[in-house]
Amino acid sequence: MPSVTLTAILPEIILTALACIFLVAEPFVPKEKKEWMGYFSIGALICSGLSLFTLWGRNITTFSGMITLDNYAIFFKGLFLVVSMLAILISVRYIKIEEINFGEYYGLILFATVGMMFMSSAADLLTIYISLELMSFSFYILTAFMKRDMRSREAGIKYFLTGAFTSGLILYGIAFLYGLTGATDLGSISAYLSQHNLNSSPMLFVAIVLLVAGFGFKIAVVPFHMWAPDVYEGAPTTVTAFLSAGSKIAAFSAMLRIFMVGLGSSYDSWWQLLWLLSVLTMTLGNITALVQTNFKRLMAYSSIAHAGYILLGFIVASRIGMAAVLIYSVAYAVMTLGAFTMVILLCRQNSRGDQISDFKGLARTHPAVAGSFVIFALSLVGIPPTAGFIGKLFLFNAAIQGSFYWLAIIGILNSTVSLYYYFKVVMVMYVQEPQDVAPLSFSPTLTVALCVMSFMTLFLGLYPEPLIRAAVQSVQFFL
Protein backbone atom coordinates (compact mmCIF):
# COMPACT_ATOMS: atom_id res chain seq x y z
CA MET A 1 0.00 0.00 0.00
CA PRO A 2 1.76 3.17 -1.13
CA SER A 3 1.79 5.98 1.36
CA VAL A 4 -0.32 9.04 0.69
CA THR A 5 0.46 12.39 2.22
CA LEU A 6 -2.60 14.55 1.85
CA THR A 7 -0.83 17.66 3.16
CA ALA A 8 1.02 17.78 -0.15
CA ILE A 9 -2.22 18.64 -1.96
CA LEU A 10 -3.98 20.46 0.88
CA PRO A 11 -4.22 23.81 -0.97
CA GLU A 12 -5.83 22.09 -3.96
CA ILE A 13 -8.19 20.09 -1.75
CA ILE A 14 -9.39 23.29 -0.06
CA LEU A 15 -9.88 25.04 -3.40
CA THR A 16 -11.68 22.08 -5.04
CA ALA A 17 -14.01 21.56 -2.08
CA LEU A 18 -14.94 25.24 -1.89
CA ALA A 19 -15.40 25.46 -5.68
CA CYS A 20 -17.77 22.47 -5.56
CA ILE A 21 -19.72 24.09 -2.71
CA PHE A 22 -20.00 27.30 -4.74
CA LEU A 23 -21.34 25.44 -7.76
CA VAL A 24 -24.02 23.77 -5.62
CA ALA A 25 -24.91 27.01 -3.82
CA GLU A 26 -24.91 29.09 -7.01
CA PRO A 27 -28.60 28.62 -7.98
CA PHE A 28 -29.68 29.88 -4.54
CA VAL A 29 -27.81 33.18 -4.91
CA PRO A 30 -30.14 35.85 -6.36
CA LYS A 31 -29.16 37.29 -9.72
CA GLU A 32 -28.26 40.74 -8.39
CA LYS A 33 -26.07 39.29 -5.62
CA LYS A 34 -23.82 37.19 -7.86
CA GLU A 35 -20.80 39.36 -7.15
CA TRP A 36 -20.73 37.79 -3.69
CA MET A 37 -19.67 34.60 -5.43
CA GLY A 38 -16.63 36.54 -6.61
CA TYR A 39 -15.82 37.75 -3.09
CA PHE A 40 -16.23 34.23 -1.70
CA SER A 41 -13.95 32.88 -4.45
CA ILE A 42 -11.29 35.35 -3.34
CA GLY A 43 -11.80 34.06 0.20
CA ALA A 44 -11.32 30.49 -1.07
CA LEU A 45 -8.11 31.51 -2.84
CA ILE A 46 -6.84 33.20 0.34
CA CYS A 47 -7.63 30.07 2.44
CA SER A 48 -5.76 27.95 -0.10
CA GLY A 49 -2.87 30.42 -0.10
CA LEU A 50 -2.59 30.34 3.71
CA SER A 51 -2.36 26.54 3.71
CA LEU A 52 0.23 26.78 0.94
CA PHE A 53 2.29 29.27 2.92
CA THR A 54 2.86 26.76 5.74
CA LEU A 55 4.31 24.22 3.28
CA TRP A 56 7.25 26.37 2.07
CA GLY A 57 10.57 24.53 2.42
CA ARG A 58 9.02 21.06 2.58
CA ASN A 59 9.95 18.45 0.01
CA ILE A 60 7.27 15.79 -0.23
CA THR A 61 6.85 13.16 -2.93
CA THR A 62 3.63 11.23 -2.61
CA PHE A 63 0.91 9.31 -4.51
CA SER A 64 3.54 6.81 -5.75
CA GLY A 65 5.72 9.61 -7.08
CA MET A 66 2.89 11.26 -9.03
CA ILE A 67 2.85 14.46 -7.01
CA THR A 68 5.92 16.31 -5.82
CA LEU A 69 5.64 19.25 -3.51
CA ASP A 70 8.85 21.24 -3.51
CA ASN A 71 9.63 24.95 -3.39
CA TYR A 72 9.38 25.05 -7.18
CA ALA A 73 5.78 23.84 -7.06
CA ILE A 74 4.94 26.17 -4.17
CA PHE A 75 6.42 29.17 -5.97
CA PHE A 76 4.21 28.56 -9.02
CA LYS A 77 1.14 27.68 -6.94
CA GLY A 78 1.47 30.96 -5.09
CA LEU A 79 1.77 32.79 -8.41
CA PHE A 80 -1.34 31.06 -9.81
CA LEU A 81 -3.33 31.97 -6.69
CA VAL A 82 -2.32 35.63 -7.05
CA VAL A 83 -3.07 35.62 -10.80
CA SER A 84 -6.49 34.10 -10.30
CA MET A 85 -7.24 36.51 -7.44
CA LEU A 86 -6.38 39.47 -9.67
CA ALA A 87 -8.43 37.96 -12.51
CA ILE A 88 -11.47 37.74 -10.22
CA LEU A 89 -10.95 41.30 -8.94
CA ILE A 90 -11.00 42.69 -12.48
CA SER A 91 -13.97 40.49 -13.46
CA VAL A 92 -16.64 41.57 -10.98
CA ARG A 93 -17.85 44.63 -12.87
CA TYR A 94 -16.88 43.45 -16.37
CA ILE A 95 -19.05 40.34 -16.38
CA LYS A 96 -22.03 42.48 -15.38
CA ILE A 97 -21.47 44.79 -18.36
CA GLU A 98 -21.13 41.81 -20.73
CA GLU A 99 -24.23 40.19 -19.13
CA ILE A 100 -22.42 36.98 -18.24
CA ASN A 101 -22.91 37.49 -14.53
CA PHE A 102 -23.22 33.82 -13.59
CA GLY A 103 -21.75 32.08 -10.56
CA GLU A 104 -20.27 29.33 -12.71
CA TYR A 105 -17.80 31.87 -14.03
CA TYR A 106 -16.04 32.01 -10.68
CA GLY A 107 -16.34 28.24 -10.19
CA LEU A 108 -14.61 27.64 -13.53
CA ILE A 109 -11.84 30.10 -12.66
CA LEU A 110 -11.25 28.19 -9.41
CA PHE A 111 -11.17 24.83 -11.23
CA ALA A 112 -8.74 26.21 -13.79
CA THR A 113 -6.58 27.38 -10.89
CA VAL A 114 -6.66 23.91 -9.35
CA GLY A 115 -5.53 22.48 -12.69
CA MET A 116 -2.65 24.95 -12.91
CA MET A 117 -1.59 24.22 -9.33
CA PHE A 118 -1.51 20.48 -9.98
CA MET A 119 0.47 21.07 -13.17
CA SER A 120 3.28 22.73 -11.27
CA SER A 121 3.60 19.84 -8.82
CA ALA A 122 2.86 16.94 -11.18
CA ALA A 123 5.87 14.63 -11.43
CA ASP A 124 4.31 11.93 -13.60
CA LEU A 125 3.22 12.26 -17.23
CA LEU A 126 -0.23 10.97 -16.19
CA THR A 127 -0.80 13.71 -13.61
CA ILE A 128 0.63 16.30 -15.98
CA TYR A 129 -1.88 15.23 -18.64
CA ILE A 130 -4.88 15.17 -16.28
CA SER A 131 -4.09 18.54 -14.74
CA LEU A 132 -3.44 20.05 -18.17
CA GLU A 133 -6.88 18.88 -19.27
CA LEU A 134 -8.55 20.14 -16.08
CA MET A 135 -7.12 23.58 -16.77
CA SER A 136 -7.85 23.50 -20.51
CA PHE A 137 -11.46 22.31 -20.10
CA SER A 138 -12.22 25.17 -17.75
CA PHE A 139 -10.71 27.58 -20.25
CA TYR A 140 -12.67 26.14 -23.20
CA ILE A 141 -15.90 26.96 -21.38
CA LEU A 142 -14.69 30.33 -20.12
CA THR A 143 -13.62 31.34 -23.64
CA ALA A 144 -17.08 30.64 -25.05
CA PHE A 145 -18.75 32.13 -21.97
CA MET A 146 -20.43 35.07 -23.75
CA LYS A 147 -23.04 32.81 -25.28
CA ARG A 148 -24.79 35.60 -27.20
CA ASP A 149 -21.60 36.98 -28.70
CA MET A 150 -20.62 35.32 -31.97
CA ARG A 151 -16.94 36.22 -31.50
CA SER A 152 -16.77 34.54 -28.12
CA ARG A 153 -18.38 31.36 -29.49
CA GLU A 154 -15.99 31.38 -32.42
CA ALA A 155 -13.03 31.82 -30.09
CA GLY A 156 -14.42 28.95 -28.01
CA ILE A 157 -14.57 26.49 -30.89
CA LYS A 158 -11.18 27.53 -32.23
CA TYR A 159 -9.57 27.14 -28.84
CA PHE A 160 -11.34 23.84 -28.22
CA LEU A 161 -10.39 22.26 -31.55
CA THR A 162 -6.74 23.31 -31.37
CA GLY A 163 -6.58 22.37 -27.69
CA ALA A 164 -8.01 18.89 -28.24
CA PHE A 165 -5.71 18.37 -31.24
CA THR A 166 -2.79 19.45 -29.07
CA SER A 167 -3.58 17.00 -26.31
CA GLY A 168 -3.59 14.26 -28.96
CA LEU A 169 -0.05 15.27 -29.95
CA ILE A 170 1.14 15.41 -26.33
CA LEU A 171 -0.37 11.98 -25.64
CA TYR A 172 1.29 10.39 -28.66
CA GLY A 173 4.60 11.81 -27.46
CA ILE A 174 3.95 10.45 -23.97
CA ALA A 175 3.12 7.01 -25.42
CA PHE A 176 6.47 6.88 -27.23
CA LEU A 177 8.34 8.08 -24.17
CA TYR A 178 6.62 5.34 -22.16
CA GLY A 179 7.41 2.72 -24.78
CA LEU A 180 11.03 3.77 -24.79
CA THR A 181 11.64 3.99 -21.07
CA GLY A 182 8.91 1.76 -19.62
CA ALA A 183 7.83 4.40 -17.13
CA THR A 184 5.69 7.50 -16.97
CA ASP A 185 7.16 9.14 -13.88
CA LEU A 186 9.79 11.72 -14.64
CA GLY A 187 12.33 10.35 -12.17
CA SER A 188 12.40 6.88 -13.77
CA ILE A 189 12.43 8.34 -17.27
CA SER A 190 15.44 10.45 -16.36
CA ALA A 191 17.20 7.47 -14.75
CA TYR A 192 16.60 5.30 -17.82
CA LEU A 193 17.75 7.97 -20.26
CA SER A 194 20.95 8.66 -18.34
CA GLN A 195 21.82 4.95 -18.19
CA HIS A 196 21.17 4.24 -21.87
CA ASN A 197 22.57 6.53 -24.49
CA LEU A 198 19.53 7.06 -26.70
CA ASN A 199 20.41 10.42 -28.19
CA SER A 200 20.29 9.01 -31.71
CA SER A 201 17.12 6.98 -31.15
CA PRO A 202 14.41 8.00 -33.65
CA MET A 203 11.70 7.13 -31.12
CA LEU A 204 13.10 9.58 -28.57
CA PHE A 205 13.32 12.21 -31.28
CA VAL A 206 9.68 11.66 -32.30
CA ALA A 207 8.59 11.80 -28.65
CA ILE A 208 10.46 15.05 -28.08
CA VAL A 209 9.13 16.65 -31.27
CA LEU A 210 5.56 15.69 -30.34
CA LEU A 211 5.93 16.97 -26.77
CA VAL A 212 7.47 20.23 -27.98
CA ALA A 213 4.70 20.65 -30.57
CA GLY A 214 1.99 19.89 -28.01
CA PHE A 215 3.31 22.21 -25.34
CA GLY A 216 4.22 24.68 -28.08
CA PHE A 217 0.52 25.01 -28.85
CA LYS A 218 -0.31 25.61 -25.18
CA ILE A 219 2.33 28.31 -24.74
CA ALA A 220 1.73 29.63 -28.29
CA VAL A 221 5.19 29.49 -29.84
CA VAL A 222 5.64 29.99 -33.57
CA PRO A 223 4.66 27.98 -35.68
CA PHE A 224 1.94 26.74 -33.29
CA HIS A 225 0.60 30.20 -32.41
CA MET A 226 -2.19 30.72 -34.96
CA TRP A 227 -4.99 30.15 -32.48
CA ALA A 228 -3.77 32.71 -29.95
CA PRO A 229 -4.70 36.05 -31.58
CA ASP A 230 -8.20 34.86 -32.51
CA VAL A 231 -8.90 33.34 -29.12
CA TYR A 232 -7.48 36.34 -27.27
CA GLU A 233 -9.61 38.71 -29.32
CA GLY A 234 -12.85 36.77 -29.09
CA ALA A 235 -12.81 35.63 -25.47
CA PRO A 236 -14.18 37.85 -22.68
CA THR A 237 -11.30 40.20 -21.82
CA THR A 238 -11.01 39.00 -18.23
CA VAL A 239 -10.71 35.44 -19.50
CA THR A 240 -8.11 36.56 -22.04
CA ALA A 241 -6.09 38.13 -19.24
CA PHE A 242 -6.34 35.00 -17.09
CA LEU A 243 -5.59 32.78 -20.09
CA SER A 244 -2.50 34.66 -21.18
CA ALA A 245 -1.10 35.00 -17.67
CA GLY A 246 -2.24 31.75 -16.01
CA SER A 247 -2.45 29.04 -18.63
CA LYS A 248 0.79 30.00 -20.35
CA ILE A 249 2.80 30.03 -17.12
CA ALA A 250 1.19 26.76 -16.00
CA ALA A 251 2.24 25.11 -19.27
CA PHE A 252 5.74 26.51 -18.76
CA SER A 253 5.91 25.15 -15.22
CA ALA A 254 5.00 21.62 -16.37
CA MET A 255 7.24 21.85 -19.43
CA LEU A 256 10.21 22.98 -17.35
CA ARG A 257 9.80 19.96 -15.08
CA ILE A 258 9.48 17.56 -18.05
CA PHE A 259 12.50 18.94 -19.85
CA MET A 260 14.77 19.53 -16.85
CA VAL A 261 13.90 16.49 -14.74
CA GLY A 262 12.56 13.93 -17.22
CA LEU A 263 14.52 14.73 -20.37
CA GLY A 264 17.42 16.55 -18.69
CA SER A 265 19.90 13.80 -19.48
CA SER A 266 19.14 13.92 -23.21
CA TYR A 267 19.63 17.69 -23.38
CA ASP A 268 21.61 17.33 -26.62
CA SER A 269 18.61 16.02 -28.51
CA TRP A 270 16.27 18.92 -27.77
CA TRP A 271 18.11 22.17 -27.24
CA GLN A 272 18.56 22.97 -30.94
CA LEU A 273 14.84 22.50 -31.55
CA LEU A 274 13.95 24.89 -28.73
CA TRP A 275 16.64 27.35 -29.90
CA LEU A 276 15.02 27.54 -33.33
CA LEU A 277 11.51 27.89 -31.88
CA SER A 278 12.64 30.58 -29.45
CA VAL A 279 14.24 32.72 -32.16
CA LEU A 280 11.25 32.27 -34.51
CA THR A 281 8.78 33.07 -31.73
CA MET A 282 10.51 36.22 -30.52
CA THR A 283 11.00 37.59 -34.02
CA LEU A 284 7.65 36.74 -35.58
CA GLY A 285 5.69 37.70 -32.47
CA ASN A 286 7.26 41.13 -32.29
CA ILE A 287 7.15 41.86 -36.02
CA THR A 288 3.50 40.84 -36.38
CA ALA A 289 2.59 42.92 -33.33
CA LEU A 290 3.84 46.03 -35.12
CA VAL A 291 0.91 46.13 -37.55
CA GLN A 292 -1.97 45.35 -35.17
CA THR A 293 -4.80 47.83 -34.68
CA ASN A 294 -6.70 45.78 -32.11
CA PHE A 295 -5.18 46.01 -28.65
CA LYS A 296 -6.13 42.46 -27.66
CA ARG A 297 -4.49 41.07 -30.80
CA LEU A 298 -1.45 43.23 -30.14
CA MET A 299 -1.21 41.78 -26.65
CA ALA A 300 -1.64 38.27 -28.11
CA TYR A 301 1.39 38.75 -30.35
CA SER A 302 3.26 40.39 -27.50
CA SER A 303 2.55 37.36 -25.30
CA ILE A 304 3.77 35.10 -28.13
CA ALA A 305 7.01 37.09 -28.15
CA HIS A 306 7.29 36.79 -24.36
CA ALA A 307 6.97 32.99 -24.67
CA GLY A 308 10.01 33.19 -26.92
CA TYR A 309 11.98 35.07 -24.26
CA ILE A 310 11.00 32.57 -21.56
CA LEU A 311 12.22 29.68 -23.76
CA LEU A 312 15.71 31.18 -23.40
CA GLY A 313 15.79 29.89 -19.84
CA PHE A 314 15.01 26.35 -21.08
CA ILE A 315 17.79 26.39 -23.64
CA VAL A 316 20.37 27.56 -21.12
CA ALA A 317 19.23 24.72 -18.82
CA SER A 318 21.30 25.95 -15.90
CA ARG A 319 20.12 26.79 -12.41
CA ILE A 320 20.34 30.50 -13.16
CA GLY A 321 18.36 29.97 -16.38
CA MET A 322 15.58 28.24 -14.48
CA ALA A 323 15.54 30.93 -11.80
CA ALA A 324 15.25 33.45 -14.65
CA VAL A 325 12.19 31.59 -15.99
CA LEU A 326 10.56 31.83 -12.56
CA ILE A 327 11.37 35.53 -12.16
CA TYR A 328 10.19 36.33 -15.68
CA SER A 329 6.95 34.40 -15.11
CA VAL A 330 6.06 36.60 -12.14
CA ALA A 331 6.90 39.79 -14.04
CA TYR A 332 5.04 38.60 -17.14
CA ALA A 333 1.91 37.67 -15.18
CA VAL A 334 1.65 41.03 -13.44
CA MET A 335 2.33 43.22 -16.46
CA THR A 336 0.11 41.25 -18.86
CA LEU A 337 -2.83 41.29 -16.46
CA GLY A 338 -2.24 45.01 -16.01
CA ALA A 339 -2.26 45.71 -19.75
CA PHE A 340 -5.51 43.78 -20.24
CA THR A 341 -7.07 45.72 -17.38
CA MET A 342 -6.96 48.77 -19.68
CA VAL A 343 -9.34 47.07 -22.13
CA ILE A 344 -11.61 46.10 -19.25
CA LEU A 345 -11.70 49.74 -18.11
CA LEU A 346 -12.51 50.90 -21.64
CA CYS A 347 -15.26 48.31 -22.10
CA ARG A 348 -18.49 50.26 -21.71
CA GLN A 349 -22.08 49.74 -22.73
CA ASN A 350 -21.48 51.18 -26.20
CA SER A 351 -17.95 50.03 -27.06
CA ARG A 352 -15.79 46.96 -26.64
CA GLY A 353 -12.79 49.20 -25.99
CA ASP A 354 -10.33 46.84 -27.61
CA GLN A 355 -9.19 49.04 -30.51
CA ILE A 356 -6.02 51.05 -30.04
CA SER A 357 -7.99 54.13 -31.19
CA ASP A 358 -10.20 53.70 -28.10
CA PHE A 359 -7.18 54.76 -26.03
CA LYS A 360 -7.22 58.27 -27.56
CA GLY A 361 -6.59 61.03 -25.07
CA LEU A 362 -6.81 58.79 -22.05
CA ALA A 363 -3.97 60.75 -20.44
CA ARG A 364 -6.05 63.92 -20.57
CA THR A 365 -9.20 62.41 -19.08
CA HIS A 366 -7.69 59.81 -16.73
CA PRO A 367 -4.03 60.61 -16.00
CA ALA A 368 -3.69 57.93 -13.29
CA VAL A 369 -4.93 55.15 -15.58
CA ALA A 370 -2.66 56.32 -18.40
CA GLY A 371 0.25 56.51 -15.94
CA SER A 372 -0.27 52.94 -14.80
CA PHE A 373 -0.37 51.79 -18.42
CA VAL A 374 2.97 53.53 -19.00
CA ILE A 375 4.38 51.47 -16.10
CA PHE A 376 3.10 48.24 -17.67
CA ALA A 377 4.40 49.24 -21.11
CA LEU A 378 7.85 50.03 -19.70
CA SER A 379 7.81 46.66 -17.97
CA LEU A 380 6.67 44.81 -21.10
CA VAL A 381 9.53 46.35 -23.07
CA GLY A 382 11.97 45.69 -20.22
CA ILE A 383 13.03 49.20 -19.22
CA PRO A 384 14.12 49.85 -15.61
CA PRO A 385 12.89 50.33 -12.93
CA THR A 386 10.22 47.69 -13.58
CA ALA A 387 9.69 43.97 -13.03
CA GLY A 388 10.07 43.24 -16.75
CA PHE A 389 13.58 44.69 -16.70
CA ILE A 390 14.68 42.39 -13.87
CA GLY A 391 13.17 39.39 -15.67
CA LYS A 392 14.88 40.19 -18.97
CA LEU A 393 18.15 41.01 -17.19
CA PHE A 394 18.19 37.55 -15.63
CA LEU A 395 17.19 35.75 -18.84
CA PHE A 396 19.78 37.47 -21.03
CA ASN A 397 22.40 37.18 -18.30
CA ALA A 398 21.73 33.44 -18.11
CA ALA A 399 22.00 33.17 -21.90
CA ILE A 400 25.35 35.00 -21.91
CA GLN A 401 26.70 32.90 -19.03
CA GLY A 402 25.72 29.77 -20.95
CA SER A 403 27.57 31.19 -24.00
CA PHE A 404 24.40 31.54 -26.07
CA TYR A 405 25.51 34.95 -27.32
CA TRP A 406 23.43 34.97 -30.48
CA LEU A 407 20.30 34.15 -28.54
CA ALA A 408 20.92 37.03 -26.14
CA ILE A 409 21.61 39.43 -29.03
CA ILE A 410 18.45 38.40 -30.89
CA GLY A 411 16.45 38.75 -27.67
CA ILE A 412 17.77 42.25 -26.99
CA LEU A 413 17.13 43.36 -30.58
CA ASN A 414 13.59 42.01 -30.30
CA SER A 415 12.99 43.95 -27.09
CA THR A 416 13.97 47.08 -28.96
CA VAL A 417 11.44 46.30 -31.68
CA SER A 418 8.74 45.80 -29.06
CA LEU A 419 9.36 49.34 -27.79
CA TYR A 420 7.67 50.63 -30.94
CA TYR A 421 4.29 48.97 -30.64
CA TYR A 422 3.83 49.41 -26.89
CA PHE A 423 4.70 53.08 -27.11
CA LYS A 424 2.47 53.52 -30.15
CA VAL A 425 -0.38 52.91 -27.70
CA VAL A 426 1.19 55.25 -25.13
CA MET A 427 1.49 57.92 -27.81
CA VAL A 428 -2.17 57.54 -28.75
CA MET A 429 -3.04 58.10 -25.09
CA TYR A 430 -0.84 61.14 -24.58
CA VAL A 431 -0.80 62.98 -27.91
CA GLN A 432 -4.24 62.57 -29.44
CA GLU A 433 -7.41 64.37 -28.37
CA PRO A 434 -9.95 62.44 -26.32
CA GLN A 435 -12.95 61.23 -28.35
CA ASP A 436 -15.27 59.30 -26.11
CA VAL A 437 -16.18 61.06 -22.90
CA ALA A 438 -18.22 58.19 -21.42
CA PRO A 439 -16.88 57.33 -17.95
CA LEU A 440 -14.57 54.34 -17.59
CA SER A 441 -15.88 51.12 -16.07
CA PHE A 442 -14.33 51.58 -12.66
CA SER A 443 -15.25 49.45 -9.70
CA PRO A 444 -13.68 49.30 -6.22
CA THR A 445 -12.26 45.81 -6.83
CA LEU A 446 -10.76 46.81 -10.16
CA THR A 447 -9.13 49.88 -8.61
CA VAL A 448 -7.59 47.67 -5.93
CA ALA A 449 -6.32 45.22 -8.58
CA LEU A 450 -4.88 48.01 -10.74
CA CYS A 451 -3.10 49.57 -7.76
CA VAL A 452 -1.70 46.17 -6.72
CA MET A 453 -0.46 45.40 -10.24
CA SER A 454 1.15 48.82 -10.77
CA PHE A 455 2.72 48.64 -7.33
CA MET A 456 4.05 45.11 -7.88
CA THR A 457 5.47 45.99 -11.29
CA LEU A 458 7.39 48.90 -9.79
CA PHE A 459 8.25 47.22 -6.49
CA LEU A 460 9.69 44.09 -8.10
CA GLY A 461 11.77 46.35 -10.31
CA LEU A 462 13.10 48.49 -7.48
CA TYR A 463 13.52 45.84 -4.81
CA PRO A 464 13.75 42.42 -6.52
CA GLU A 465 15.81 40.68 -3.78
CA PRO A 466 12.92 38.73 -2.16
CA LEU A 467 11.70 37.49 -5.55
CA ILE A 468 15.21 36.49 -6.67
CA ARG A 469 15.86 34.70 -3.37
CA ALA A 470 12.55 32.80 -3.63
CA ALA A 471 13.25 31.85 -7.26
CA VAL A 472 16.76 30.63 -6.48
CA GLN A 473 15.50 28.60 -3.52
CA SER A 474 12.79 27.12 -5.74
CA VAL A 475 15.15 25.64 -8.31
CA GLN A 476 17.61 24.19 -5.78
CA PHE A 477 16.08 20.72 -6.05
CA PHE A 478 16.78 20.53 -9.78
CA LEU A 479 19.89 19.60 -11.73
Partner 1 sequence: MIPLSHFLILSAIIFTIGIVGVLTRRNAILILLSIELMLNAVNINLVAFSHYLQSITGQIFVFFIITVAAAEAAMGLAIIILIFRGKAFLNVDEINLLKG
Contact set with partner 1 (CB under 8 A): 125-126, 129-130, 133, 137, 140-141, 144, 147, 150-151, 153-158, 160-161, 164-165, 167-169, 171-172, 174-176, 178-179, 182-184, 226-227, 229-230, 233-234
User: What SS3 class is residue 61?
Assistant: strand
Q: Can you state the angle between helices 319-346 and 367-381, rounded to 10 degrees? A: 150
**For partner 1, the closer CB: 48 or 302:** 302
Q: In angstroms, give the least distance from the CB of 374 to partner 1.
A: 29
Q: List Cα–Cα distances, 54 to 13, 51, 167, in angstroms.
A: 15, 6, 34
**For partner 1, the closer CB: 31 or 148:** 148
CB proximity list for 15: less than 8 A, separation 6 or greater: 44, 45, 47, 48, 110, 113, 114, 117
User: Phi and psi of 62, rounded to 5°?
Assistant: -145, -175
Cα distance between residue 180 and residue 201, in whole Å: 9
**For partner 1, the closer CB: 130 or 191:** 130
Are residues 311 and 414 in contact, defined by beta-carbon separation less than 8 angstroms? no
Q: In angstroms, give the least distance from the CB of 238 to partner 1.
A: 18
Are residues 63 and 13 in contact, defined by beta-carbon separation less than 8 angstroms? no
Could you give the residue ranges of the DSSP H alpha helices within 98-223? 103-121, 125-143, 150-181, 186-195, 202-219
Q: In angstroms, give the least distance from the CB of 223 to partner 1.
A: 12
Q: In angstroms, give the least distance from the CB of 251 to partner 1.
A: 17
Q: In angstroms, give the least distance from the CB of 293 to partner 1.
A: 12
Tell me the sheet residues that pair with 60. Answer: 69
Which helix (H) or strand (E) is 333 found in, with range?
helix 319-346
Cα distance between residue 45 and residue 77, in whole Å: 11
**For partner 1, the closer CB: 347 or 387:** 347
Burial of 29 (0-12, 13-18, 19+ CB in 10 A): middle
Which helix (H) or strand (E) is 68 found in, with range?
strand 67-69
**For partner 1, the closer CB: 123 or 331:** 123
**For partner 1, the closer CB: 214 or 388:** 214
**For partner 1, the closer CB: 97 or 141:** 141
Which DSSP state fits 124? Answer: B
**For partner 1, the closer CB: 221 or 369:** 221
Q: In angstroms, give the least distance from the CB of 439 to partner 1.
A: 29
Q: List Cα–Cα distances, 189 to 5, 179, 193, 335, in angstroms.
A: 23, 11, 6, 36
Q: In angstroms, give the least distance from the CB of 378 to partner 1.
A: 29
Which DSSP state fits 475? Answer: T
Q: In angstroms, give the least distance from the CB of 167 to partner 1.
A: 8
Q: List Cα–Cα distances, 326 to 36, 332, 468, in angstroms.
A: 33, 10, 9
Q: In angstroms, give the least distance from the CB of 227 to partner 1.
A: 8
Identify the CA nearest to 388 among candidates 341, 452, 327, 300: 327
Q: In angstroms, give the least distance from the CB of 231 to partner 1.
A: 8
**For partner 1, the closer CB: 35 or 233:** 233
Cα distance between residue 269 and residue 267, in whole Å: 5
**For partner 1, the closer CB: 168 or 466:** 168
The amino acid present at 278, given as its one-letter code, is S
